[in-house]
Amino acid sequence: MTASQTELKAGGLKLAIDGEVATVTLARPERRNAMTPAVWHGLAAIGASLPAEVRVVVVRGEGPSFCAGIDLRLLSGEGVPGEEPVTSAADADFDQRVAGYQAGYLWLRDPAIVSVAAVQGHAIGAGFQLALACDLRILADDAKLCMREPALGLVPDLTGTHPLVGIVGLPRATELCLTARTVTADEALVLRLAELVVPGAELDAAVSDLVAALLSVDTTAARATKALLQQASRNTLSEQAAAERRAQADLLSSRLGRP
């Protein structure tokens, strides 16, 4: 069962599933796709109900910006009509509630899929973290990335610090977060925050080309390889070599139809 229309509507999300490819679209361009708890819950519901045959998930935003981050009305106290308030330290279940928001991001790392963020315009705060949650990022040349949370008196807590440090390294991640400065598409390419930068008009075509290339390799091998790559940085060389042997044995055994 896929995420319900109610969950998608509440989060201003669109979901299109075409065989092995799912496209998730943040679709509140009039608010630059600003995020609320309903968006994070909707994303989590999509992840929890993704059909098993889906191999690639594209995450995109409608309008001029990929995502302007958290809806600032949630932070100002104004609130967003019809939306639950964002959790505060006064809530006894604060940890659980934030974990619920993070669930909207974490599924994008599942080895069963490759997630691709298609980023045009701004990706700020929670929106930058959504792009970081994806395995790969293709940026339009007008893309602007910013981890604004520290400037607003917050830490980034939507799972973005782990991939950020992994991609750009600790010193650069420290500099980017603690200055809350904006990274342009050109710099993002240098910092490896983008696999590719293309003119805005070519973003969709570039994403389609990448999706086709990702689908061209063997499904089971792709899933096993992603799982292997994900553990490489925390394993020693000999642990990783052993993991490769195990993964290969499992893969070849699965083709023989035995456990």
Q: Which is nearer to ligand ACO, 179 or 231 (CB)?
A: 179
Q: Shortest Cβ distance from residue 133 to ligand ACO (Å)?
A: 13
Sheet with 144-146: list strands edge to edge.
Answer: 122-124, 144-146, 182-184
Indicate whether 32 belongs to the interface with ligand ACO (CB under 6 A): yes
Task: Tell me if 124 sits within 8 A of 68, measured CB to CB.
Answer: yes
Indicate whether 37 belongs to the interface with ligand ACO (CB under 6 A): no
Q: Which two tokens stand for residue 198?
A: 């293309």
Q: Which is nearer to ligand ACO, 68 or 214 (CB)?
A: 68
Q: Which of 56, 70, 173, 188 binds ligand ACO (CB under 6 A)?
A: 70
Q: Shortest Cβ distance from residue 220 to ligand ACO (Å)?
A: 37
Taking residue 4's Cβ as centre, other Cβ atoms within 10 Å add up to: 12
Task: Tell me if 120 sits within 8 A of 140, measured CB to CB.
Answer: yes
Indicate whether 163 belongs to the interface with ligand ACO (CB under 6 A): no
Q: Shortest Cβ distance from residue 122 to ligand ACO (Å)?
A: 4
Taking residue 11's Cβ as centre, other Cβ atoms within 10 Å add up to: 26
Question: What x-and-dash track marks residues 98-137 binding ligand ACO by CB under 6 A?
Answer: ------------------------x-xxx-----------
Indicate whether 31 belongs to the interface with ligand ACO (CB under 6 A): yes
Helix (H), strand (E) at residue 198: strand 196-198
Round to whole Å and give the CA distance between 246 and 129. 33
Helix (H), strand (E) at residue 61: strand 56-61
Residue ranges binding ligand ACO (CB under 6 A): 31-32, 34, 64-65, 68-73, 122, 124-126, 148-149, 152, 154
